[in-house]
Amino acid sequence: MTARRAGLSAALIDKAAFPRDKLCGGLVTGRARTQYRQIFGGDLSPDLFQPHDRIAFHAGGTRLGAVQNTPRLYLTMRRDMDAHLLDLALGSGASNFTGQRIAHLDVDSPRVTLANGAVLTGQILIGADGVTSIVARALFGRAFDPERIGFALEVEAPSGPATETIRIDFDAAKWGYGWRFPKLRSTTIGVGGLQAPNPDMKGRLAQYRTDLGDGAECAVKGHFLPFGDFKRVPGRGAVLLAGDAAGLVDPITGEGIALAWQSGAAAGDAAARAIAAGKPQGALRLYRRALGPLHRGLRMAVWLRPLIFAPRLNPLFRRAFGRSSVVKGAYLRLLAGEVEYPGLCLLVLRRLPRAALRDLRRRHAER
Ligand SMILES: Cc1cc2nc3c(=O)[nH]c(=O)nc-3n(C[C@H](O)[C@H](O)[C@H](O)COP(=O)(O)OP(=O)(O)OC[C@H]3O[C@@H](n4cnc5c(N)ncnc54)[C@H](O)[C@@H]3O)c2cc1C
């Protein structure tokens, strides 16, 4: 959309024909909504994005708290949302090459040969082709680092009672969490986190579903998730990586939709500016500058992550989360895009020493 709006011709290639399923919780945050408004114009339609304002947090079988009137969150099915986004892109004049597998890729030209023999050349190539990106593989030899990658499993279970809330379970996976997202026609239940500390993610999902009382027969599906493993250099010259292909998933919340939209738009804008300047090879430099604040936030999130997930520290986090409306509020404001990581880091640095001291005193008194 951004490239088309800037007057470029654009070819949209996807191996899938739409509508297609994409494994995803489909939680759309306030941050994503802001991106949607800026990029696509208009607002999230309630037909596709159902608003929610209640969320419950659990850990180790204990309810840490429920929050009413949260900053607005939305739930969607990616099958519907992605078909809608494709319509918007085609409506803006992008050429449609969906349902076409890439047979060969030359990142130097850049030139793409499709399985049906068609050859597409362009000045800029944006690889927004997900976590197993063929473009990233062509650039760097592999799409992600297997030591640092995340993995998630999900089922679409039957719909629960109308009163069911969004639920997050911090203990359902190590260095990750579990989720139950009630939607119109199903309930998405999943667990995800870093892959290395969770060799039995299937067992974790089975346990989580048992804990939730979900015994329905349904297909379990899994997908990698670049959970904090973003590419410091997201491309080369006139070839840019966006979204999961660039590793842009929040290392704490697992949010990827907003970051994919933001980086896709930034890539389109960098492409337009580089072409206008007659220097397509300069696109990466412009793109990296645009992604600077996002990368800075992700680096801070990687720094904060052990406070939430490391086994030695997470009891402190959970106690603080359960007791303090400030901590819960900060988490929700982060989800909503009302606070970014620099602001959150400041809050943590200010409150952590006092919280740790209080916790130490309390545990000492309990002995
Ligand atoms: C289980 C799970 C739950 C998640 N839940 C959430 C959530 O609730 N909220 C949230 O914000 N994020 C969530 N995420 C993260 C989110 O799904 C991703 O970050 C987001 O989809 C990234 O978008 P993308 O466009 O970069 O990649 P994708 O959505 O993966 O899209 C990549 C596209 O590229 C196409 N493609 C791939 N290879 C090729 C090829 N060789 N040739 C042509 N086309 C190709 C694919 O068909 C696909 O359409 C979740 C992820 C997982 C795995």
The token duo for 152 is 């998630």
Q: Which atom of ligand 1 is nearest to the CA of 22?
A: 29
Which secondary structure element, helix H or strand E, spans residue 157, and what is its range? strand 150-157
Please state, in angstroms and as integers, the Cα–Cα distance from residue 325 to each residue in 32, 247, 308, 331, 337, following that order: 24, 32, 16, 10, 18
Q: How far apart are CA 101 and CA 143, in angstroms?
A: 17
The CA 224 to ligand 1 mean position distance, Å, reads 9
- Residue 236: per-residue pLDDT: 98
Pairwise CA distance, residues 248 & 258, whole Å: 9
| 330 ligand 1 Cβ < 6 A | no
Q: Is cis: bond before 182, omega within 30 of 0?
A: no
Residue 280 DSSP class:
G
Question: What's the pLDDT at 363?
Answer: 66
CA of 225 to the centre of ligand 1 (A): 9
| Gap between the Cα atoms of 1 and 108, Å rounded | 24
Distance CA 193, CA 252 (A): 9
Task: Please identify which residue in the block is written with the tokens 């039957």.
Answer: 158
**Ligand 1: centre distance to CA 103 (Å):** 20
**Separation of CA 129 and ligand 1 centre (Å):** 8
Amino acid symbol at 89: A
Inter-CA distances, 53 with 43, 92, 324, Å: 17, 33, 19
Does ligand 1 have an atom closer than 6 angstroms to the CB of 244? yes
Cβ–ligand 1 contact at 26 (below 6 Å): yes
Q: How far away, in angstroms, is 146 Cα from ligand 1 center?
A: 18
For residue 34, give the H/E element and its range.
Answer: helix 30-40
End-to-end CA distance of the chain: 61
Q: Is 65 helix (H, G, I), strand (E, B) or coil?
A: strand
Name the residue of 129, 151, 255 whose CB sits within 8 Å of the most ligand 1 atoms, as the mutation to test its pocket: 129
Nearest CA-CA partner of 298 in 265, 355, 258? 258
The pLDDT value given to residue 343: 80
Measure 247 CA to ligand 1 centroid, in angstroms.
11
Beta carbon of 130 within 6 Å of any ligand 1 atom: yes
Chain segment 255-301, per-residue pLDDT in tens: 999 999 999 999 999 999 999 999 999 999 999 999 999 999 999 99
- Give strand pairing partners of 59: 62
Q: If we measure between CA atoms, which residue out of 187, 234, 198 comes closest to residue 25?
A: 187
List of the chain residues with pLDDT < 50: none
Q: Is 25 in the pocket of ligand 1 (CB under 6 A)?
A: yes
For residue 308, what are its two tokens?
């939430």
CA of 250 to the centre of ligand 1 (A): 13
Q: Which atom of ligand 1 is found nearest the CA of 102?
A: 42
256 pocket-lining for ligand 1 (C-beta < 6 Å)? yes
The verdict on the CB of residue 250 being under 6 Å from ligand 1 is no
The pLDDT of residue 45 is: 96
- Ligand 1 mutation pick, 1, 96, 112, 257, max ligand atoms within 8 A of CB: 257
Q: What is the pLDDT of residue 349?
A: 73
Q: Whose CA is nearest to atom 53 of ligand 1?
A: 223
173 CB within 6 A, ligand 1: no
**Residue 14 Cβ contacting ligand 1 at under 6 Å:** yes
Q: Is the CB of 102 under 6 A from ligand 1?
A: yes
**What pLDDT score was predicted for residue 67?**
87
Which ligand 1 atom is at minimum distance from the Cα of 192?
1
- What is the structure's pLDDT at 359? 66
